[in-house]
Amino acid sequence: MCIHVTYTFFNKDLPMRNRMKAYIIHLQNRIIEAFESLDPNAPFKRDKWNRKEGGLGISATVCAGKVLEKAGVNISVVYGKLPPPAIKQMRADHSEIPYDPESGKSLPFFAAGISLVIHPQHPLAPTVHANYRYFEISDDVPHNEVDGSQTESSDESIPEGGKILAWWFGGGSDLTPTYLLEEDAKHFHNTLKSACDTHGSSIYPTFKKWCDEYFYIPHRKESRGVGGIFFDDLSTAHHKRLDGDGASSVEKSDRPKTADDIFAFVRSCGDAFLPSYIPILKLRSSPPFDPSSPFMTPPPDHYPLNEPLPIPYTLPTSRLRRWQLLRRGRYVEFNLIYDRGTKFGLQTPGARIESILMSLPETARWEYMNELEYGEDGKGVDGTEESKILEVLRVPKEWV
C-alpha cells in the first residue's frame, strides 16, 4: 500500500491535485498508526463522508483514551464553485486571477488538505495543531473524469479541472503547552527548522514570525501557544513575506521556486510532524495521567534522582488540571473568534460542521478573574509556573 501511494505523490506526470490527495491520505494513515501505537486500547474512529456539492473526506477521531483526551486527524478533498465574494477576497492576495467582479460569475475551485488537533490527557503534555493544504482556481469549463485508481482509498475520482488560473499551498504546525517546559518547545522548533532549512535558510524564521503573529488573541493580548510555523499563499508567484515588497523577481529569494519544489517543502513539513511531537507526548504521558493522585509522577529514567524536578511536577494535580482547562478556554476563544480556517469552513456551502469543530477540546473552563493568572488582588502574579508560560505567550521567544 505505501509503495503505491509513495509512487503516486512522487509522480510528476500527475496533476498536483492527485498528488496532494495521495500524500494527505498517506500522512493521515502514518499519524493515526503512531498515536494508536502509544495507546492501543483507544483506536481512532474513521468516518468517511461525501460532500454532495463535490468531494469527500475522512474524519478520524478518538476520545477518552489514556493518552489522548480528544484528538482528530482529518483529511478532505473538495471541489465545486467559488462564489464571487470569495473570489474577490482571494484576489487581494492573488492578483493573477483574471476575474471581472462585475460579471457575478462563480469559478471552479479544488482544495485538498489534512488538519489535525491533539488534546492530551496529561496537563504537562502540550496540545498540538497541524494543517497542510493545496488550493486551485480554474477556468469555468466542463470537467472530465480522471482515473480514480491514481489515489489510495478513494471511491470517487477527482474531476480534472480546466486551465489553472491560480494555485497555492498553505499550512503549518504549532504547539500549545499548559506549562512551560523549555526542552519541549526547543525540540519542537528545532525539528521544524531542520525540515525548513533544506528548502531555504529564510523559510523557518519567516514562517516562525508569521506563526507568532497569526495565533495571537488580541482581546487577551497573548499568543495561543509557543508557536511553530505558519504560511499561506505559497506558489511560484511573488510572495510578500518571502520575496519582500521590493523584490522584482521570485528568483532573488532563497526559497522553493517551482511547484515541485514547493510540494517537496510541504511534504518535508508534514513528515516532520511525528518526530516533532511524538517524543514530547510519549515523555509527558509516561506514566499516564491519574487525576486521583495528589501529585504527578515524573517520567521514569528521564530526570536523574540527584537533580531537582521541573517545578510543574511538584505542583498539586488538581492545580495542574485546573490550569490546563483554563488554557484550553483560550484555545476555544482563538478558534471560534479569529481562526480563518474555522470561519472559512463555517461559511462554505455544504460544510461538515462536526469536522470543522473537531479542533475544540472536550473540556474547557472559564473563571472570573482566576487567581492563578490575576492573583488574589487582581493585579497579576509573578514567579509562579503559570506566570512563566504567560510571559512567553505575551512576548514570543526565539526557541532555536
Catalytic residue annotation: 129
The residues, ordered by sequence, that sit 6+ positions from 88 with a Cβ below 8 Å of its Cβ are 99, 101
SS3 212: helix
In DSSP notation, 80-116 reads EEE-HHHHHHHTTT-TTS---GGG---EEEEEEEEEE
Q: Which grid coordinates are listed for 357?
A: 469543530
Integer Cα distance of 268 and 55 in angstroms = 26
The answer to whether 225 and 208 have CB atoms below 8 angstroms apart is: no
Integer Cα distance of 154 and 150 in angstroms = 9
The residues, ordered by sequence, that sit 6+ positions from 183 with a Cβ below 8 Å of its Cβ are none
Grid look-up 508557536 returns 227
Beta bridge partner(s), residue 170: 133
Integer Cα distance of 233 and 195 in angstroms = 19
The candidate with the shortest Cα–Cα distance to 228, out of 238, 244, 245, 214, is 214
147 residue type, one letter: D
Q: What values do phi and psi take at 18, rounded to 5?
A: -70, -40
321 CB-side CA count, 13 A:
14
SS3 146: coil
Q: What values do phi and psi take at 255, rounded to 5?
A: -165, 170
Judged by phi (left if over 0) then psi (alpha if -120 to 50, else beta), residue 305 lies in: alpha
The residues, ordered by sequence, that sit 6+ positions from 383 with a Cβ below 8 Å of its Cβ are none
Grid look-up 518535508 returns 268
Integer Cα distance of 103 and 192 in angstroms = 44
SS3 244: coil
